[in-house]
Amino acid sequence: MKNRIITISREFGSGGRTIGKKVAERLNIPCYDNELLQKIAAESGFHENYIKDAGEYAPGGFLASAFSHGVFGPSNEDYIWEIQCRIITELAEKGPCVIVGRCADYILRDKADCLRVFIHADLEFRAKRIVEVYGEREASPEQRLREKDKRRAAYHRFYTDMKWGHTQNYDLTLNSGTLGIDRCVELIGQLY
């Protein structure tokens, strides 16, 4: 496969989704984020909200994972994971694109010419951003950030056996709080 793919992994509230969309616009290539959820939902038969939630939770915990591949067979999350892997691979084979989240960095590690990017920022920047951009109204947006990141990390570890956000797993890590959204877009675009 000779297509150039950009995968964007991100901490919640860091602007990774926005950065991914702006990079795709700048490069005039497709960006798959919510569209990816729609494709997985259509193929799996599960509701889009279920797919979105399942992508941020490791299946069941210790006991469930100990038995999930044996006695009880694959879980719904395992079924979704298989569909997700196939769809992401097919999208990468179609042509250059940006794929946000869904462990695309791992799924495409040996299958495509990828630029694997991780977007992060400090807690204060992200808390302010989720209040301003997403209208977050919880008393403690910082706690929501920690919980969401913890779930993403657990999901990533469960399916990839890799540490989410660990710099060695990415080609580029950018601090959107320090650099700003537009500068991150510019840097990724230059490396494409």
Residue 89: CATH number of its domain = 3.40.50.300
Number of domains the chain contains: 1
Domain region containing 80: 4-191
pLDDT of 69 > 60? The answer is no
The confidence score (pLDDT) of residue 133 equals 85
**Could you tell me where the DSSP H helices lie in the chain?**
16-27, 34-44, 48-54, 62-67, 76-94, 104-107, 123-132, 141-160, 176-179, 181-191
The number of residues making up the chain comes to: 192
The confidence score (pLDDT) of residue 86 equals 96
Query: Whole-model pTM?
Result: 0.88
The proportion of the chain whose per-residue pLDDT surpasses 90, expressed as a percent, equals: 66
Q: What is the mean pLDDT of the chain?
A: 88
40 band by pLDDT with thresholds 50, 70 and 90: very high
pLDDT of 122 > 70? The answer is yes
